[in-house]
Amino acid sequence: MSDKKVSRPCHHCKSRSASVPSDTSKIHYEKFWLYRHCSSVQQRDRQAQKAGQLFSGLLAMNVVFLGSAFISSMIFNKVAITLADVWILLSILKVLCLFWIIYYLMGTSRQPHAVLYRDSHAGAIWVRGSVLLFGSCSILLNVFQIGYSTVLVHCKSKVEIVFPIIGILFICTQAYFLWHHSKDCIQVQHNFTRCGLMVTIATNLLLWLLAVTNDTLHMEIESQLREVEQRFAGNETTLCTCPNTTICKVFQKGYILLYPFNTEYCLVCCSVLYVMWKNVGRRISHHHILNTKPKFKLQGVVFGPLLGTSAVIIGACVFMMYQIQATSLDPSRQVLVIYYSYYIVLLPLMSVGAVIGTIIHALEKKELDTLKNPTRSLDVVLLMGAALGQIGMSYFSIVALVATDPSDLLNSLALSYSVLLIFQNITQNVFVIDGLHRRHVVAAAEAKHAGHSGQDTVAAEMPGEEETTLSGKQEHSQTPPGKEEDTKEEQNREAYSQRRVSVLELGQEIRKASLSYIHTYSHLSWKRRVLREISFFLVLCNIILWVMPTFGAHPLFENGMERSFYGYSTWFVIVNFGLPLGVFYRMHSVGGLLEVYVTA
């Protein structure tokens, strides 16, 4: 790309030492040959940013299309393009990404003034934690794959040992990179970094696509053992079956069990990398940096955890019953009835919780946070996008069930399951999206507090009005704390402000006292408590709803109703694209709900 040259590091800046980020001389404004004649530096910078995003996006689009064509060719024409060809392409991409990541770690990020700002919203601990968790699972998966290939080395090509090794290297480096640099707003080599990030995103997307289409194997093993044997016979592994040794069976079983984590890992990495891509060249105002994240505290919630834990325990029992029955090749109707009944009880509870939460959000006099925040925008898009998978599947299921025989018990159960699932997804999305846009009370109080520190004496002498006007001047989008409570609790506040006046002479201690009071106080508000109960309950529910399909409960596939309606291959395609998205949706909801819980 011709723009790489323009974005090379500014060498004359190297001599300077890194100090305050607000120094404008350290900002590398972006340039682009297309936009040399803009009147202002800011405008040129913005346009260059857009152009850089366009070009790197085009690069990624081409890579993704090429890879998809490869993968589709492999699926539909097993002779001309084999799995090995796809692996070679992906390995080349992985090696390219590895080189770029290493260059980023060694070169780009160590340049002077490379990372002046860090996006506090990006790379939340739960996201980075899941990168590590899923990353380790994926590494284990690759280890099992190596072991499996080694056992069967007599009939498998040695290349099948090389690919997983490259995979392990890629996963480790990427996880390290994301753990340490996911918050970076890189200010040098903009376009090169964008291209690198986009190629990495494309690689992860292709790995996901391959995993989804290859998940075929796993699901078929579970549901249609006979057909698999036929397919295997037609495949390259004609005479290559696992000998009856324990180690080979362990490798095989571990491989099947760990497979879903690999798909999740790719999706999570994509979302983190995308936020990094959006943050390239972003300059964050001081206002943003101030807004620190609150910590997770398990305080003042009782019913949510109780209800949620019971849902998890019952769900685990149902899941185990289902798994024992489902693996016995001929799943009985009874276990499906139990499975659906569990969902039909749980889903309305979750929906009601989400609706109540949304209503409380509306009742609460909390300000909305309308600042720019790429992480949140992405969260919203991902929530809506991932929900589409589940909702789409449900609609397909509804049409099939209504068209066949809705009066049958199992059909009517499956029907209500699908309808409730749509309703639950939508209500939960509205609740989470709305919650993510509410400002955190304590953070707002702390921000106000920080604003005061310069005017200690003035603030101490005029406690009432001064507080509101000052904070109003400094940060117009924040609420004075007086607005946070409703009229019913007015007296409580008066007592608080009187007590504040009485401790006027304590000087430095006053701030600590008021802060701890706000803390205690906020725990007293019934609205906040209900919000926390609801979000905690939903977190636990989403965890169990995430675990069940991840580890192999796919009633939509195993009940056979939709399968016989749409035909095997069509329904297979629908489920194979809907299910991984549904699983990702649950995982992503957990993150969003945790954020709602913490900021409530």
Query: What contacts 24+ positions apart, CB below 8 Å, involve 105-111?
Result: 105/176, 105/177, 105/181, 108/186, 108/188, 108/189, 108/192, 108/193, 109/181, 109/184, 109/186, 111/9, 111/14, 111/188, 111/189
Tell which one of 77, 238, 292, 310 touches a second copy (CB under 8 A): 77
Q: What is the DSSP string of 518-586?
A: HHHHHHH-HHHHHHHHHHHHHHHHHHHHHHHHHTT--HHHHS-HHHHHH-HHHHHHHHHHHHHHHHHHH
Decide whether 50 or 554 has the Cβ nearer to a second copy: 50
One residue of 16, 36, 249, 333 binding a second copy per CB under 8 A: 36
Instruction: Examine residue 403 and tell whether it contacts a second copy (CB under 8 A).
Output: yes
φ/ψ bin of 387: left (φ > 0), alpha (ψ from -120 to 50), beta (otherwise): alpha
Cα distances (angstroms) measured from residue 120 to each of 117, 498, 551, 595: 9, 36, 34, 13
Contact 302, 533 (CB under 8 A): yes
- 586 is a contact residue toward a second copy (CB under 8 A): no
Distance CA 110, CA 506 (A): 46
Contact between 488 and a second copy (CB under 8 A)? no
Please identify which residue in 250, 302, 345, 368 interacts with a second copy, judged by CB under 8 A.
368
185 beta partners: 117
Q: How far is the CB of 362 from a second copy (least distance, A)?
A: 5
Choose the stretch contacting a second copy; rule: CB under 8 A; options: 33-41, 161-169, 199-207, 262-270. 33-41
Is residue 565 within the footprint of a second copy (CB under 8 A)?
yes
Q: Does 526 bind a second copy (CB under 8 A)?
A: no
Q: Which of 73-81, 113-121, 194-202, 406-414 is the region at the interface with a second copy (rule: CB under 8 A)?
A: 73-81
- Cα 479 to chain center, whole Å? 30
Interaction mask 451-480, a second copy, x per CB under 8 A:
--------------------------x-x-
d(C-alpha 382, C-alpha 376), whole Å = 10
Q: Does 370 bind a second copy (CB under 8 A)?
A: yes
x-marked contacts with a second copy along 45-64 as a string, rule CB under 8 A: -xx------x---x--xx--
Output the smallest distance, CB 33 to a second copy, in A: 6
Among 90, 93, 391, 581, contact with a second copy (rule: CB under 8 A): 391
Q: Within 13 Å, how many C-alpha atoms sit on residue 244's CB side?
A: 0
- AA letter at 122: A
**Distance separating alpha carbons of residues 89 and 107, to the nearest angstrom:** 26
364 lies in the binding site for a second copy (CB under 8 A) = yes
Nearest approach in angstroms of CB 443 to a second copy is 17
195 vs 422, beta carbon nearer a second copy: 422
**Closer of 107 and 392 to a second copy (Cβ):** 392
Query: Of the ranges 72-80, 149-157, 179-187, 337-345, which one interacts with a second copy (CB under 8 A)?
Result: 72-80
Please tell me the distance from the alpha carbon of residue 287 to that of residue 373, in angstroms, as a whole number.
Answer: 12
Rounded Cα distance between 1 and 195, Å, is 9
Enumerate binding residues for a second copy (CB under 8 A).
33-39, 43, 46-47, 54, 58, 61-62, 65-66, 68-70, 72-73, 76-77, 80-81, 358, 361-362, 364-368, 370, 388, 391-392, 395-396, 398-400, 403-404, 422, 426, 430, 433-434, 437, 477, 479, 483, 565-567, 570
